[in-house]
Structure 1
């Protein structure tokens, strides 16, 4: 499991005073109101940015950081990820998992047969969809619903699934 969790991606600048628009990768964008800082992945290092102000615009979060007061200081970070330490993350409910913890899980069928590896999670409006690289079937999209996902065991690094008719 990773020590850091991605909470957003800088999409563009906002105005000339160093604000940025961030696409949140967290389920709850309001989460940014509780954060004191984020870690910016500059490509070479993680840089701590203390959050000075948070606003919301449509599906984006507008952030202002301490010490960044003009567009030139932040523009070079468009497309860069924002992270937080795992200790700063919100607690999850039952049957909720961080995407970072799901990626790489071994996927097995309910009879114990190896099926593949969970590569990524696609977030849709209704329910998430797990993207699985199957040994036999190539890329398989599996809805993250109780009828399909029977068990997730992070300690054993496995996910047990039931393949409903029509999925392959």
Structure 2
């Protein structure tokens, strides 16, 4: 029975090409030390098809990784060029108190102090100054001057009322 890979949705890298034999050349989008080490698992997606890969051995090279995933041939490795690599959310490192992953905000309700519904967070824009939470009715700077509270259990972000 094959594993359900539909919920593996945290992007951690991309297959840049193949290396010697049937190894993959990986461009990492994650700085987690063991993300590309032996034993790591990824869901590789290319052209809508998902495949589970497990790293047998790896080494750092030119800011990326060369990973042997036990592919049977050079052709099999070549066929994964351009694939995006995903992990399951449960594979992420735990966050510290007061920290969170940006995708945990998606779908949270946003209400003003006066109770006005501003919709659900659909996107988080990352800017040099601060993040901006985007709802259908507002764009809210993610700074203490605007964010009153975040209730993770109720999945509600309360923001200050702003005139205008």
TM, length-normalised to structure 1: 0.68
Where does structure 2 lack aligned partners over 5 or more consecutive residues?
1-5
Tell me the distance in 1 between the aligned counterparts of 2:129 and 2:12. 21
Q: Output the CA distance in 1 between the equivalents of 2:61 and 2:102.
A: 24
CA distance in 2, matches of 1:78, 1:108: 44
Distance 2:75 2:129 in 1: 39
How has the CA–CA distance of structure 1 residues 160 and 89 changed in structure 2, closer, same or farther, with 3 Å as cutoff?
Answer: same
Q: Which has the higher strand share?
A: 1
Which residue is 1:21 aligned to? 26
Between structure 1 and structure 2, the one with the greater Rg is 2
Task: Report the count of equivalent residues.
Answer: 156
- Pairwise CA distance, 1:56: 5.8
Query: Hey, what does 1:6 align to over in structure 2?
Result: 10
Match of 2:150 in 1: 152
Q: Which residue of 1 aligns with 2:68?
A: 65
* TM-score (norm. length: structure 2): 0.69
Q: Displacement of 1:112 after TM fit?
A: 2.0
Which whole-Å CA distance do the structure 2 matches of 1:69 and 1:130 have between them?
A: 46
Asked whether the 8 Å contact 2:17–2:82 carries over to 1, the reply is no
